[in-house]
Chains A and B, each alone.
Chain A
């Protein structure tokens, strides 16, 4: 008695009870689709956080100047002028957990090219040549400015994609001259697309100039607004944070009972916490969904047990005309596995459909991973076997004489 025939017998038996079969499947359908949809939502959220982490740069920390504190007025972070370029140099030299450092100067203002101008939220950033490395932000065309440009306060700039698109309207900006705050700058490179930041800002709407140029030629200031730091590894961001704090307290001659006049922000830290919590969230969703899958499995077992009792006479007939116990057991096992697998496949379709609908209507990012689909199929088979085995064994163990006499 081969498997294909047993399969046909099982399918025929299921087909004879379409209503009951489909209701039984519904449990599995709902379970599997819940798992798929929840994983898709969770993984979508996780993937978004991951990409934001990648956006943050290479194990990045920010040092910002502290708040101004004059006569009861406290400004926000960065409102005082406590950081100077030498602080950045010192961090690069003396903190072993630090890989690269760049001073940062912020400005804003109008950008003009020909008869076009652009102001919007454009941020003008002054950095040194290590910016692309620290931010993990490669150049799309042209090149970034060099250490020499920084030393000589050269009037060169690198622009983000948004500005390249809007101000230069399609033509290649590299080599052209634009005006920043009314000063002519030569565009030497265009940055690759970075997209939105975690806070929804367009990161490509930016102009990068040597920080020395920003200090001397635009803002006439000697201090800097922030220091961008890249630690040697994600784990090293914590030690780097400590080393930087110690070093700056020492350099700023702060006594033991004085507050820091700067802030160190460890972005990796925050992002990783967010990622962790999203993973916990996924696991929670998936485990709740698995419970419904378990309930679906119990539903299958319940129906199969009812079915065995109800079909006792059928089992007796089959045994009388020569079905071996194994054939009966296989028939019922295949019936339950078929219920669970067909339910699983329909559940996958429903789950994928639900994920797509959710991402379209609610604008949530969803990610349907092949692993979750594969796992659902495997799990469905397991549910079918696990919950079908007992009823199948019960059917196979019936005594043909008593089964035939069963009313």
Chain B
């Protein structure tokens, strides 16, 4: 579309700025499937700084999902190390990883993954329940997060009373409510139509630009990747390409140029 791609070969941490938010150092991941060893990652190294908006791309089996799981502390590298906020999290226990996920990572999934029959507000409260935030503060923060994603008037709706785009925005509110170091979004627009996808990308871009929240997006759609400012391409368990986008797409501008939508979806209850 309108964005111009600038190819850059490597990306290094400025030693003066201290450690990067995320450093993957020669990370290997091997799965044992019966007698066969599957090498999902073969020595991936990566730095992500605070405030970045990156898109991770690659064909299926390229290692991008494994990378996402490791970045999300859902999985541990077989070899190599992973530093998050200067802490080596590759050797932590299951419970320690759960705490890291709770405090430092926000997840947004393709299928929204909201708890059914649970109001938007309660869904957003959930991460704070596991953190032990007091009730009054929890309510306040959950409402605030829902307002940030533009759902301040839908806090008591159940997921099945919300459109796909709205559900995904609830998921985004949930991901940011514990003020994480990074939001990991795994194909967040995969289940959405193109207009709603742009709306969701607008939310991500605003969070990134206005609040400086670091976002890593996994997608196989090149169009969607263009909303990020940096693209990392995986192939065969290694990083094949890592480049900055000089002029990312702006979801805001695209939404403004689109003809106004007849409000049929957002107001039916």
Q: Which residues of A contact B (CB under 8 A)?
A: 1-2, 5, 8-9, 12, 16, 313-314, 316-327, 400-401, 404
Pair B98/A325 contact, Cβ less than 8 Å? yes
Minimal beta-carbon separation of B249 from chain A (angstroms):
28
Beyond A2-B132, A12-B122, is A321–B117 a contact (Cβ under 8 Å)?
Answer: no
Known contacts A1-B132, A5-B132, A400-B74; is A321 also within 8 Å of B102 by CB? yes
Does the CB pair A326–B107 fall under 8 Å? no
- Nearest A residue to B95, CB-CB: A324
Q: Contact check, B130 vs A322: say whether CB atoms are below 8 A apart.
A: yes
Q: Is the beta-carbon distance between B118 and A321 smaller than 8 angstroms?
A: no
B116 — which chain A residues lie within 8 A by C-beta? 16
Interface of chain B residues 108 through 147 with chain A (CB within 8 A) = 109, 113-118, 122, 126-127, 129-132
If the complex has contacts A9-B129, A400-B74, are A322 and B69 also in contact, measured as CB distance less than 8 A? Answer: no
- Restricting to B60-105, which residues have a CB under 8 Å from any CB of A? 69, 72, 74-75, 94-95, 98-99, 101-103
Let me know if B98 and A319 touch, CB within 8 A: yes
26 inter-chain pairs at a CB distance below 8 angstroms, sorted by A residue, are: A1-B129, A1-B130, A5-B129, A5-B132, A12-B118, A16-B116, A313-B113, A314-B115, A318-B126, A319-B98, A320-B72, A321-B102, A321-B127, A321-B174, A322-B101, A322-B102, A322-B127, A324-B94, A324-B95, A324-B99, A325-B94, A401-B69, A401-B75, A404-B74, A404-B109, A404-B113
Rounded to whole Å, the gap between the CB of B174 and the closest CB of chain A is 7
B130 & A323 in contact (Cβ 8 Å cutoff): yes
Q: Is the CB of A321 within 8 A of B94?
A: no
Cβ-defined partner of B101 (8 Å) among A16, A321, A325, A326: A321
Q: Which of B98, B101, B122, B174 has the most CB of A within 10 A?
A: B98
Q: How far is the CB of B40 from chain A (nearest CB, A)?
A: 12
Check if B118 sits within 8 Å of A317, measured CB to CB. Answer: no
A1-B129, A325-B94, A401-B75 known; A317 and B99 CB under 8 Å? no
- Bound-state CA distance A106–B14 (Å) is 118
User: Do A401 and B74 contact each other (CB < 8 Å), given the known contacts A317-B115, A322-B102?
Assistant: yes
In the complex the two chains form, is A320's CB within 8 Å of B126's CB?
A: no
Q: Which residue among A8, A321, A324, A400 has the maximum number of chain B CB atoms within 10 Å of its CB?
A: A321
**A9 proximity list for chain B (CB < 8 A):** 129
Q: How far, in angstroms, from A16 to B117 measured CA to CA in the complex?
A: 6
A325–B95 contact, CB under 8 A? Answer: yes
Instruction: Label chain A's interface by main secondary structure.
Output: helix
Whether the pair A322, B98 counts as a contact (CB closer than 8 A) is: yes
Centre residue among B107, B127, B129 by max chain A CB count within 10 A: B129
Query: What is the bound-complex CA distance between A16 and B174, given in angstroms?
Result: 20
14 additional A-B residue pairs with CB within 8 Å, beyond A321-B101, A321-B126: A5-B132, A12-B118, A16-B116, A16-B117, A314-B115, A317-B113, A317-B115, A320-B113, A321-B102, A321-B107, A322-B99, A322-B130, A323-B102, A404-B113
Q: How far is the CA of A228 from the CA of B98 in the complex (A)?
A: 82
Indicate whether A326 sits within 8 Å of B130 (C-beta atoms), given known contacts A321-B174, A401-B75. no
Question: Which residues from B are CB-within-8-Å of A2?
Answer: 132
A16 touches B118 (CB 8 A): yes
Within the complex, the shortest CB–CB distance from B117 to chain A, in Å, comes to 4
B113 lies within 8 A of A326 (CB): no
Known: A1-B132, A5-B132, A321-B126. A326 touches B95 (CB 8 A): yes
> What residues of chain B lie closer than 8 Å to A317, measured between beta carbons?
113-115
Chain B positions within 8 Å of A319 at CB level? 98, 101
Q: Known A16-B117, A401-B69, A404-B109; judge A324-B98 contact (CB<8 A).
A: yes
Taking CB atoms, residues of chain A closer than 8 Å to B178 are: 322
Q: Chain B residues with Cβ under 8 A from A401's Cβ?
A: 69, 74-75
Q: How many Å lie between the Cα of A28 and that of B190 in the bound state?
A: 45
Chain B residues whose CB sits within 8 angstroms of the CB of A321 once the complex forms: 101-102, 107, 126-127, 130, 174
B132 contacts A320, C-beta separation under 8 Å: no
Report the bound CA distance from A320 to B115 in whole Å.
13
- Give the distance to chain A from B187, nearest Cβ to Cβ, in Å: 12
The docked-state distance in angstroms from the alpha carbon of A10 to that of B103 is 22
CA distance A325 to B93 in the complex (A): 11
Across-interface contacts of B129 in A (CB, < 8 A) = 1, 5, 8-9
| Complex: chain A residue closest to B114, CB-CB | A317
**Contact residues in A for B132 (Cβ distance below 8 Å):** 1-2, 5
Lowest 8 A-B CB distances belong to which pairs?
Answer: A322-B102, A16-B117, A321-B127, A324-B98, A322-B130, A322-B101, A324-B95, A317-B113
Complex Cα distance, B171 from A404, in Å, reads: 14
Smallest CB–CB gap between B267 and chain A, Å?
26
Taking a contact as CB atoms under 8 Å apart, the answer to whether B131 and A322 are in contact is: yes
Residue with the highest number of chain B CB atoms closer than 10 Å, among A2, A320, A323, A404: A320
Contact residues, B154-181 vs A (CB, 8 A): 174, 178
Q: How far is the CB of A404 from the nearest CB of chain B, in Å?
A: 7
A327 to B129, CA, bound (A): 11
